[in-house]
Amino acid sequence: MDLANLSAFIAIAEAGSFSRAGERLHLTQPAISKRIAGLEQQLDVRLFDRLGREVTLTEAGRALLPRAYQILNVLDDTRRALTNLTGEVSGRLTLATSHHIGLHRLPPLLRAFTRQYPAVALDIQFMDSEAAYDEILHGRAEIAVITLAPEPHHLVKAVPVWVDALDFVAAPEHPLANNAQVSLADVARHPAVFPGGNTFTHHIVQRLFESQGLAPNIAMSTNYLETIKMMVSIGLAWSVLPRTMLDHQVAPIALPGIHLSRQLGYILHTERTLSNAARAFMALLDSHAGSA
């Protein structure tokens, strides 16, 4: 089975489009169509239904997809295992991370890593923490540095590195920020801007309200914490932000007895052979474990 054709098949399945898959693989649409035609001819099955611009997997395509991931992952795993024998810390390290961690936690570590291991080419991919789990499970990234899930997948090893304290915040002139006797019920009556419902941070805050029989008044949502901070700072709503983001633009809401935090750290696939570069980066992360 031609591995280039298999890579094209996976790219189309993920992108839902021949043209977008071609862009990802730096191929023209005729070239990627030729690869799929060759794979379909080799397997004697149709892998995609093409209805106008819509591209969907056939039953045979759906059956092939997990096996295609497995084949390419085994090949990559074999390459890493052989490369590791040299003991050199070099090659490409594909690292997935969230925008917040990439901006506020990783810069000093990345600076130290690139100085110590100049032969490593870092491929840093920014995405939501939830999406990074799929990158690890499908073998598209070796390590992801993210907000850790409360219950990780059984094939994912999660290692905590930082405890990220979370604070309720509002604009300095907001009524909630100027009241020393605020309860969670008071907060629930005001409009909020939250991270998207699919995020781990959203679930952490939601569970707090549910534990007291309350429901937050979520008026808006976005997954970008910097955008949430802007919305809070101009008085549109209250929210919950990492303490590391607090400055004069937002004010903490005093809620006695309430302490929220989330775990930040890294994840990896338990059945994947890690490159020497990945192991070196893990060691650097481990040296910062337990910091605030």
Strand partners, 124: 95
Residues 64 and 196 in one domain: no
Compute the radius of gyration of the chain from its Cα atoms: 23
138 domain-assigned: yes
> Are 241 and 157 a contacting pair, CB within 8 Å?
no
User: In this structure, are residues 94 and 123 in contact, taking their beta carbons and an 8 Å threshold?
Assistant: yes
Which CA distances in Å does 159 have to 98, 144, 145, 200?
A: 16, 10, 9, 16
Q: Would you state the pLDDT for residue 116?
A: 95
End position of a domain, from candidates 31, 53, 72: 72
Please check whether residue 56 lies inside any domain of the structure: yes
Residue 78 maps to a domain: no
**Could you give the angle at the alpha carbon of 151 between the alpha carbons of 142 and 159, nearest 5°?**
45
Inside any domain, residue 292: no
Q: How close are the terminal C-alpha atoms of the chain, in Å?
A: 49
Residues 147, 9 share a domain: no
Residue 223, domain CATH? 3.40.190.290
pLDDT at site 31: 93
Residue the block writes with tokens 């949430």: 228
Give the pLDDT confidence score for residue 10 in this predicted structure: 92
CATH number at residue 35: 1.10.10.10
Asked if residue 271 lies in contact with residue 198, where contact means CB atoms within 8 angstroms, the answer is no
pLDDT score, position 95: 96
> Does residue 151 form part of some domain?
yes
97 and 129 belong to one structural domain: yes
Residues 105 and 217 in one domain: no
Residues 216, 221, 222, 224: what is their CA dihedral angle, to the nearest 10 degrees? -30
Residue 105 is assigned to a structural domain of this protein: yes
Residue 269's pLDDT is 94
Answer whether residue 201 is part of any domain: yes
Q: Domain boundary residue among 44, 72, 100?
A: 72
What pLDDT was estimated at residue 292? 65
Q: What is the CATH number of the domain that holds 269?
A: 3.40.190.10
Which pLDDT score is estimated for 197? Answer: 87
Rounded mean pLDDT for each run of 10 residues along the chain, 292 residues in total: 88 90 90 93 92 86 90 82 78 93 93 95 93 90 93 89 95 90 93 91 93 94 92 96 93 92 95 91 92 68
Domain count, the chain: 3
> Within this chain, do residues 145 and 227 fall inside the same structural domain, yes or no?
no
Answer yes or no: do 153 and 92 share one domain. Answer: yes
Residue 223 lies in a domain: yes
Q: What does pTM read for this prediction?
A: 0.73
Judge if 198 and 251 occupy the same domain.
yes
Measured CA to CA in angstroms, residue 283 lies from 115, 159, 162, 248, 274 at distances of: 15, 11, 14, 36, 12
Write down the pLDDT at residue 171.
Answer: 96
- Residue at which a domain ends, from 72, 106, 132: 72
Same domain, residue pair 152 and 276: yes
Angle at CA of residue 16, ends 50 and 128, nearest 5°? 170
The answer to whether residues 94 and 105 belong to one domain is yes
CA distances from 241 to 58, 144, 205, 225 (A): 43, 21, 11, 7
Are 158 and 42 within one domain?
no
Q: Same domain, yes or no, for 131 and 272?
A: yes
Full residue range of the structural domain in which residue 12 is found: 3-72
Give yes or no: residues 169 and 245 share one domain: yes
